[in-house]
């Protein structure tokens, strides 16, 4: 360290001397030559010092203490919990998991103040939150504790919506399978016997009363109608598993417009398909998504059958938080008040009987919910301020 200091002083003196010689000699060539020699000598003295400085290796950073490493691991575990977790100290709520951060961020709950009120005051149990995907059911768990003499509480919201919908759909599918199996077992012999009886009436012999032929013909027709009815309900529980892939929504909307647009215009109406951006894409099963949208378009057509100027709006956009929303809206009479949740149940139909005396079969929205849920999305009904009905698919 001493030799380095001496070299540095010597180089400084030589460079200072070079400057003094140069200034004192004016334009004399000999003076400038002397100054140049002093500068060179100063550089020769300083170069080894610079090399020694650059050759000194950097000291490695000391390893983190074990306690710090454990703390970082715990923080990472908390961040990736599959639930929304907070710690409450007094009235202050601090999110612990990424799911809690997402629930509070744009695209999560619609009213952050209401969520915080639930967390601070609600007892453990089910909680209904209004989110960008619709109303969702959560289970609130609360654990009080004291750390360093301060009262605190751990709050956890466990999502229930997807699990409840999956269980509901599975229960209905099992019910449909049992019903269709039993009904078909009864229909097959009835239909066969009816045909045999009609064939016997066609054989030569005493004339049969007209009422007998009429009754047997009615049995046969009713059996055929019931068989077709059961066949339709079988669709609720026999959809194949979805195969997810990127779907270009602009191409999908173009196909749907070609499929239904002419029929709406022929009725004096209009069908509009709009995308907030032409490059919107969705990770979904294209066949399942198209079938779900076609079912909603069919519902809109039936709902506006008596509307003088029917209108249909199909829109795709990104909501807060980057969620993709597909909406299908019409200007019909809308869903009767009080039936908003029942319309998704199998066998239930809010549509009044038409001119042929037949009401809806009650499977369209059930199929839509099953298809959308299978692709990781949700479907809900909303009541537009302008009237009519709207169904929103969120992913």
What residues contact 125, with CB distance under 8 A and at least 6 apart? 139, 140
Using a cut of 0.75, tell me whether the model's pTM lies above it.
Answer: no
| CB neighbour burial string for 154-178, b if at least 16 within 10 angstroms, e if fewer | ebbbbbebeeebeeebeebbeebee
How far apart (Å, rounded) are the C-alpha atoms in residues 235 and 338?
27
The Cβ of residue 33 has, within 10 Å, a number of other Cβ atoms equal to 12
How far apart (Å, rounded) are the C-alpha atoms in residues 370 and 344?
10
Residue 237 CA from chain centroid, whole number:
23
Return the pLDDT at 384: 86
CB 236 within 8 A of CB 368: no
Write out the chain's pLDDT in tens, 395 residues. Answer: 555 555 555 555 555 555 554 555 555 555 545 555 445 555 555 555 555 555 455 556 666 567 777 778 877 877 887 888 888 888 888 888 888 888 888 878 888 888 888 888 888 778 888 876 667 778 888 888 777 778 888 888 887 766 666 666 666 666 666 667 667 766 776 777 677 777 766 666 666 666 667 767 767 776 776 777 666 666 656 677 889 999 999 999 999 999 999 999 999 999 999 999 999 999 999 999 999 999 999 999 999 998 999 999 999 999 876 789 999 999 999 888 878 777 877 666 666 554 444 445 556 788 888 889 889 898 988 888 888 999 999 99
DSSP for 303-317 reads: HTTT-SS-EEEEEEE
How far apart (Å, rounded) are the C-alpha atoms in residues 330 and 305?
11
User: Where do we find the tokens 């269709």?
Assistant: 180
What residues contact 8, with CB distance under 8 A and at least 6 apart? 46, 49
Task: Tell me the two tokens of residue 289.
Answer: 């998504």
What is the number of residues in the chain?
Answer: 395
Element (H, E) at 186: helix 161-201
How far apart (Å, rounded) are the C-alpha atoms in residues 87 and 142?
10
Beta bridge partners of 59: none
């Amino acid at each position: 360290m001493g030799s380095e200091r001496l070299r540095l002083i010597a180089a400084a003196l030589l460079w200072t001397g070079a400057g003094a010689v140069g200034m004192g000699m004016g334009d004399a060539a000999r003076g400038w030559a002397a100054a140049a020699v002093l500068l060179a000598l100063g550089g020769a003295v300083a170069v080894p010092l610079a090399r020694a400085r650059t050759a000194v290796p950097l000291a490695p950073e000391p390893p983190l203490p074990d306690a710090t490493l454990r703390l970082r691991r715990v923080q990472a575990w908390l961040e990736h919990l599959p639930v929304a977790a907070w710690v409450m100290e007094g009235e202050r709520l601090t999110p612990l998991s990424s799911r809690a951060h997402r629930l509070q961020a744009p695209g999560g709950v619609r009213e952050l103040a209401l969520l915080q009120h639930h967390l601070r005051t609600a007892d453990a149990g089910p909680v209904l939150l209004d989110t960008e995907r619709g109303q969702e059911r959560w289970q609130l768990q609360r654990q009080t504790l004291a750390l360093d003499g301060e009262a605190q509480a751990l709050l956890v919201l466990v999502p229930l919506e997807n699990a409840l919908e999956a269980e509901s759909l599975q229960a209905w599918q099992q019910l449909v399978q049992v019903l269709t199996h039993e009904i078909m077992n009864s229909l097959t012999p009835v239909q066969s016997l009816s045909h045999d009886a009609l064939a016997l009436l066609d054989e030569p012999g005493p004339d049969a009363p007209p009422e007998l032929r009429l009754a047997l013909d009615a049995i046969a027709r009713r059996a055929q109608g019931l068989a077709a009815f059961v066949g339709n309900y079988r669709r609720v529980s026999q959809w194949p598993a979805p195969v997810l892939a990127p779907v270009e929504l602009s191409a999908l909307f173009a196909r749907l417009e070609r499929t239904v647009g002419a029929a709406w215009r022929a009725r004096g109406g209009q069908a509009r398909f709009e995308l907030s951006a032409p490059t919107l894409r969705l990770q979904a099963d294209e066949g399942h998504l198209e079938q779900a949208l076609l079912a909603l378009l069919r519902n809109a057509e039936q709902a506006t059958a008596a509307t003088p100027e029917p209108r249909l709006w199909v829109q795709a956009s990104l909501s807060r938080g980057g969620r993709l929303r597909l909406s299908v809206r019409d200007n019909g009479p809308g869903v009767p008040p009080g039936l908003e949740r029942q319309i998704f149940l199998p066998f239930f139909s809010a549509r009044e009987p038409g001119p042929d005396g037949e009401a809806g079969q009650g499977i369209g929205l059930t199929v839509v919910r099953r298809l959308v849920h299978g692709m990781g999305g949700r479907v809900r009904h909303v009541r537009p301020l302008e009237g009519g009905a709207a169904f929103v698919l969120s992913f």
